[in-house]
Amino acid sequence: QVQLVESGGGLVQAGGSLRLSCAASDRTLSWYSMACVRQASGKGREFVASISWNGRTTYYADSVKGRFTISRDNAKNTVYLQMSSLIPEDTAVYYCYADPVIHAGLAPNPLHWGQGTQVTVSS
Q: Kindly list the averaged pLDDT for each block of 10 residues, start to end, along the chain of length 123.
A: 92 98 89 96 97 97 98 96 98 97 95 96 97
Closest CA to 98 of 44, 25, 8: 25
Residue 49, classed as helix, strand or coil, is strand
pLDDT at 21: 98
What one-character DSSP code corresponds to residue 114?
B
Task: Return the pLDDT at 2.
Answer: 82
* Model pLDDT, residue 41: 96
- Closest C-alpha to 40, from 97, 93, 118: 93
